[in-house]
């Protein structure tokens, strides 16, 4: 019996193998030899212990394999590419420029789209750049975004212009307070791309 337990643990036998052995030793053999009830109980007890040891041994192996998988995935995640704050800012710059030409053309649907792109990028900054101390100040842009959003929804050109000036000033205020005052944002002179039509259709 002890040899069977030792064999199972060392060689990690399949459970059906174990059952066949148990069936032979404890059901067929005892009947043939007419072993006492006491002996049968003893063997059944040993069988249960074997199962428990087998299960524990197997469980330990599974846990180790799962941990190795988690470690490898964590490693991949840590080394995967994440855009930096500067890249997100360049993206905001693009939508800030397009927003101006959309508003100038009273293309309110496009203007609304550009505002949402800026909002999405701000949400990404909060999610992907939490380690940058400057990100704590990002909320200062919210009132300017709300103001230009109202102008666009009401289709008010003069309110759009005032709100755009406020938005641009807010960009620069944050650059100044985060020691990036050399990044100066202004109202754009010409559309960023020649392949996009800003006129309302």
One character per residue 1-40, x = contact with ligand HEC (rule: CB under 6 A): ----------------------------------------
Q: Which of 89, 110, 115, 152 is close enough to bind ligand HEC by CB under 6 A?
A: 89
Alpha carbon distance 187, 185 (integer Å): 7
Residue nearest to ligand HEC (CB): 86
Q: Judged by CB under 6 A, does residue 92 bind ligand HEC? A: yes
Helix (H, G, I), strand (E, B) or coil at 189: coil
- 13/138 with CB nearer ligand HEC: 138
- Is 138 among the residues that bind ligand HEC (CB under 6 A)? yes
51 within 8 A of 18, measured Cβ to Cβ? yes
Distance CA 173, CA 179 (A): 10
Percentage helix, strand, coil for the chain under 3-state DSSP, each rounded to 5: 75, 0, 25
* Residue 178 sits in the site that holds ligand HEC (CB under 6 A): yes
Residues of span 45-74 touching ligand HEC by CB under 6 A:
none
Which one, 102 or 185, has the nearer CB to ligand HEC? 185
Residue 195 backbone phi and psi in degrees, to 5: -100, 15
183 binding ligand HEC? (CB under 6 A): yes
Q: How far apart are CA 2 and CA 121, in angstroms?
A: 66
What's the CA gap between 192 and 106, in Å, rounded? 18
DSSP 8-state symbol, 138: G
C-alpha–C-alpha distance, residues 70 and 72, integer Å = 5
Does residue 137 touch ligand HEC according to CB under 6 A?
A: yes
Q: Is position 129 an interface residue for ligand HEC (rule: CB under 6 A)?
A: no
Q: CB-wise, 35 or 180, nearer to ligand HEC?
A: 180
Binding site for ligand HEC (CB under 6 A): 85-86, 89-90, 92-93, 96, 134-135, 137-138, 140-141, 167, 171, 174-175, 178, 180, 183, 185
């Amino acid at each position: 019996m002890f040899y069977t337990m030792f064999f199972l643990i060392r060689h990690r036998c399949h459970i059906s193998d174990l059952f066949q052995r148990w069936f032979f030793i404890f059901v067929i053999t005892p009947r043939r030899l007419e072993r006492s009830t006491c002996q049968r109980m003893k063997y059944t007890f040993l069988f249960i212990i074997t199962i428990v040891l087998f299960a524990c041994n197997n469980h330990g192996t599974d846990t180790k394999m799962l941990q190795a998988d988690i470690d490898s995935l964590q490693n991949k995640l840590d080394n995967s590419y994440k855009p930096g704050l500067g890249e997100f800012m360049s993206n905001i710059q693009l939508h800030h420029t397009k927003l101006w030409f959309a508003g100038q053309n009273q293309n309110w649907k496009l203007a609304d789209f550009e505002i949402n792109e800026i909002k999405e990028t701000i949400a990404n900054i909060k999610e992907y750049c939490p380690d940058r101390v400057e990100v704590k100040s990002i909320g200062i842009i919210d009132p300017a975004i709300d103001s230009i959003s109202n102008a666009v929804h009401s289709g008010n050109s003069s309110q759009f212009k005032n709100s755009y000036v406020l938005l641009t000033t807010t960009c620069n205020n944050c650059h100044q307070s985060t020691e990036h005052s050399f990044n100066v944002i202004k109202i754009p002179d010409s559309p960023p791309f020649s392949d996009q039509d800003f006129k309302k259709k």
